[in-house]
Amino acid sequence: MPSPDPPRDRPGLSVVVPVFNEEESLAILHGEIVAALEGAGENFEILYVDDGSTDGSGRVLRALGRGDPRVHRIALRRNFGQTAALAAGFDVARGETVVTMDADLQNDPADVPALLARIREGFDLVSGWRRLRRDAFLTRRLPSLLANRVLRRMTGLSIHDSGCTLKAYRASLLRRLPLYAEMHRFLPVLGAIAGARVSEVEVGHRARRFGRSKYGIARAFRVVLDLMTVKMLVQFSTRPLHWFGVFGLPFLPLSAAFFALGLIEKGASLVFGTVVYPAIAVLLLLTSIDLLLLGLLAELAVRAGHRRGASLFGAFQTEVE
Amino acid sequence: MSGAALEVPAKTRPALPGVDVSVVVPVDDPGAEIEDLFRAFSQELARLGRSHEFVFVLDGVGGKPRALLEALKVECGNVKIVSLARRFGESVALSAGFERASGAVILTAPGYLQVDPVEVRRLLGAIEAGADFVTPWRHPRVDSLVNRLQSRLFNWLLRRTMRISFHDVNCIFRAMRRAVLEEITVYGDLYRFLPVLAERQGFRVVEIRVRHLKERGKSGFFGFGAYARRILDILAIMFLTKFTHRPLRFFGTIGLGLFLAGLGISAYATAEKFLGGPPLRERPILLLGVTLMMLGVQIVGFGLVGEIIIFTQARHLREYKVERIE
């Protein structure tokens, strides 16, 4: 604790809700959040991040905030995407605990107290798990299931639903995690690497009442690339040469094999029969060397980042009482 | 922005910081029509009642333009002269000018009357109406057909790749709020893309049709290098605006695509062999397949290095721009 007696107006809990064109949902959502949190006796603030909405969301949010100092609207200049909107909310949030949720009413604010209880138990990040998802199977649930399975296998972290926006974080953890591109989905993984205690809680999930989903199947391909990134960052961001080595070294024996194939077909005369196999051998060799050199380049980048005092994660510790 | 400025005799006016409008003019041609430009813009800005200053950036030229500017400075006072040691190009010249400009609104213009000076009024009017950046569209153009066609092609390509709506990024007769320049830094040849970059940052960018008077730049076909640079510029701006923070999206898409194509070709050759086709060592197409796969692997590798670089900088990244908190 920085000060033994924190000012009374500083909330213990900040709720961050990214909003993009959800004018019909907002009033209902707001009512539910307030009811859930007041019922649990929380001292909270609600930060709606208006991510460049073009419908009446801004107007609705201003109306909700009128006369309630706990409610704020953070208006972004244009639509920057969900990760950026969350980052904007986190940077403004003052609470020691931060809860995020979607504005489309699919998350149920009544689940928030359960998440907070877990945080009080000592966890640093608690993710919601939409066990019974109410979304289209082929375009939404299946890609998510697969991505989460791959993520679990890759990282060893047993979180079932990384993409669920309903999550609770200890603010001191959030300040350490990198948040850019589409990284918000991978915060549990990144948190776990940083040493945070990560847990999950089953939460309800409701069908969309208004509007349409802002995601589609095209996202699946991007998620594959993102997973690859996270895998690499997780395991090798401090020693990237290892990753590139694992990637590139197998090409060496493969190259030798093709080289041998090219020789064998002409007996032991040391003259290549056709150009195809030796040429393949050369390609594999060059690729292998290239990847190793790229690995060295990556080492250089990591080293340069360290020199600027940006330790990639820094071991995260919660305060010891 | 204050409205009408006091009409103090120019000579006695102290060089106060904070005029309404700074006109920044890069000069890279000894034959630049500095005086015409100065008189016309001064008159127009005075008529609008805006306090103003001129910042002329001598981009590696001295002699006559410098003497002329010194004379104007003595005569009117509101002229700043920035001399670059050698020719650095328009982008550097503009940045050097911006550093010295004190206006709330900054107007840039080439060193001759390219566009009818009365358009200054409309540019500033758009800013007053809420725009952060005003980009011109010389329409109809009065220069040679070749120039018009190649400019059109370039802008069309840019519109298609960047999904923007501007028609003429090559004209620097622009007006912008100071805040835009405080957030966006330009280097290389990227000054062309200021409106694109401003829009990406969430600024309100407005396009206005302006009357084109004349063109002084080179006309006709350029060398091969010039075209290559324009194409590379488009590639750079696309990459920088869309993929800076997600390099693997760019490299990975290309790399995986090539890899899969190579895999398909190799699989085809292999399958044919087992169906009684020629042995693989006599199939040069296998070489193509393997080449594509290896190229794909390497390109993905580049993307991963990019991701590492971004990740090491992640703490300094702010991807959003807040308009207001209420």
Q: List, for residues B101-125, the tens digit of each pLDDT value.
A: 999 999 999 999 999 999 999 999 9
Residue A216 confidence (pLDDT) above 80: no
Rounded to the nearest integer, the mean pLDDT of chain A is: 83
Q: Which of A231-245, A261-275, B34-48, B203-217 has the lowest mean pLDDT?
A: A261-275
- With an 8 Å Cβ cutoff, are B297 and A287 in contact? yes
Tell me what pLDDT residue A32 has: 94
Least CB–CB distance from A87: residue in B201, B291, B319:
B319
Question: What's the whole-number average pLDDT of chain B?
Answer: 87
ipTM field: 0.77
CA A272, CA A260: separation in Å to the nearest integer?
A: 10
Question: Looking at the DSSP assignment, which residues form a beta bridge with residue A13?
Answer: A44, A97
Asked if A232's CB is within 8 angstroms of B252's CB, the reply is no
Sign of the dihedral through C-alpha A79, A83, A86, A88: negative
8 Å CB contact of A298 and B326? no
Confidence of residue B204 (pLDDT cuts 50, 70, 90): very high
Average pLDDT for residues B41-48, to the nearest whole number?
A: 94
Is the bond preceding B195 in cis, omega lying within 30 degrees of 0?
Answer: no
Contacts of B281 in chain A (CB under 8 A): 261-262, 265, 273-274, 276-277
Q: Is B316 a residue whose pLDDT tops 80?
A: no
* E runs forming strands in chain A: 13-19, 44-50, 71-76, 97-100, 125-130, 167-170, 198-203
Average pLDDT over residues B293-322: 86
Given a cut of 80, whether residue A223 has pLDDT beyond it is: no
Q: What is the mean pLDDT of residues A290-301?
A: 90
Segment B63-84 shows an average pLDDT of 91
pLDDT of residue A267: 59
Percent of chain A with pLDDT over 70: 85
* Listed range (A13-27, B90-104, B174-188) with the worst mean pLDDT: B174-188
Rounded mean pLDDT, B202-223: 86
Tell me the DSSP string of B77-106: S-EEEEEESS---HHHHHHHHHHH---SEE
pLDDT digits (tens, 9 = 90+) for B142-188: 888 888 899 999 999 999 988 889 999 989 999 999 989 888 876 66
pLDDT of residue B5: 36
Q: What is the pTM of this model?
A: 0.77
A17 phi and psi, to 5 degrees? -125, 110
Q: Using an 8 Å CB-CB cutoff, list chain A residues near B291.
A: 283
A73 to B325: CB separation less than 8 angstroms, yes or no: yes
**Residue B12, pLDDT above cutoff 50:** no
**pLDDT confidence of residue B313:** 77
Name the pLDDT band for A154 (thresholds 50, 70, 90): confident
The CA distance from A136 to the nearest CA of chain B, in Å, is: 26
CA distance A202 to chain B (A): 31
Of B253, B286, B325, the CB nearest to A276: B286
Q: Residue B3: what pLDDT? A: 36
Q: Which run of H or of E encompasses B52?
A: strand B52-59
Q: Which residues does chain A have within 8 Å of residue B282's beta carbon, measured at their own beta carbons?
A: 274, 276
Cβ(B41)–Cβ(B23) below 8 Å: yes
Alpha helices in A156-200 (DSSP H): 171-174, 187-193
User: Is residue B208 pLDDT above 50, yes or no?
Assistant: yes
In this predicted model, which residue has the larger pLDDT, B91 or B58?
B58
Q: How far off is chain B from A287, nearest CA to CA, in Å?
A: 6
Angle made by CA atoms A74, B247, A212, in degrees to the nearest 5: 45
Which residue in B203, B317, B320 is closest to A76 by CB distance? Answer: B320
What residues does B81 pair with on adjacent strands?
A: B56
Nearest to B53 by CA among B97, B94, B96, B95: B97
The pLDDT of B38-67, averaged and rounded, is 92
Burial (CB count <10 Å: 0-12, 13-18, 19+), residue A3? exposed
> Considering only alpha carbons, which residue of chain B is nearest residue A222?
B249
* Chain B residue with minimum CA distance to A83: B319
Q: What is the average pLDDT across A127-153?
A: 83
Distance from the A294 Cα atom to the nearest Cα atom in chain B, whole angstroms: 7
Rg (CA), chain A: 25
Contacts of B202 in chain A (CB under 8 A): 52, 76-78, 80
Nearest CA-CA distance, residue B239 and chain A, Å = 14
Q: Residue A207 pLDDT more than 70?
A: yes
Q: Which residue among B294, B301, B319 places its CB closest to the CB of A180?
A: B319
Confidence of residue A282 (pLDDT cuts 50, 70, 90): very high
Note whether B314 contacts A180, CB cutoff 8 Å.
yes
* Chain B residue whose CA is closest to A65: B326
Report the range of poorest mean pLDDT among A151-160, B55-64, B175-184: A151-160
Contact A200, A161 (CB under 8 A): yes
pLDDT higher than 90, residue B16: no
Asked if residues B162 and B212 have their Cβ atoms less than 8 Å apart, the reply is: no
- Contact (Cβ atoms closer than 8 angstroms) between residue A115 and residue A307: no
Residue scoring higher pLDDT (B12 or B173):
B173
Interface contact flag, A84 B320, Cβ < 8 Å? yes
Contact B308 A78 (CB under 8 A): no
* Whether pLDDT at A131 is above 90: no
Across A185-199, B101-115, B204-218, the highest mean pLDDT is recorded for B101-115
B304·A261 Cβ contact <8 A:
no
Task: From chain A, pick out residues whose CB is under 8 angstroms from the CB of B319.
Answer: 80-81, 83-84, 87, 180-181
Task: Flag the least confident range among A23-37, A212-226, B134-148.
Answer: A212-226
- For residue A271, which amino acid is it? V
Averaged pLDDT, A278-303: 90
Q: Which of B133, B197, B204, B315 to mutate to test the interface with A (most CBs of A within 10 A)?
A: B315
HSE-up of B62 (CA within 13 Å, CB side)? 3
Rounded Cα–Cα distance for residues A13 and B80 (Å): 54
Alpha carbon of A251: minimum distance to chain B alpha carbons (Å): 10
Of A178, A247, A265, the CB nearest to B281: A265
For an interface test with B, the pick among A280, A290, A299 (most B C-beta atoms closer than 10 Å) comes out as A280
How close B143 comes to chain A (CA, Å)? 37
Cβ contact A225–B297 (<8 Å) = no
Is residue A301 helix, strand or coil? helix
Query: Stretch B287-293: mean pLDDT, rounded?
Result: 94
Residue of chain B with shortest Cα separation from A61 = B326
Average pLDDT over residues A92-113: 93
Choose the weakest-confidence range: A154-158, B256-260, B272-276. A154-158
Above 80 in pLDDT, residue A271?
no
Per-residue model confidence (pLDDT) at position A215? 61
Segment A68-94, tens digit of pLDDT:
899 999 999 888 888 999 999 999 999
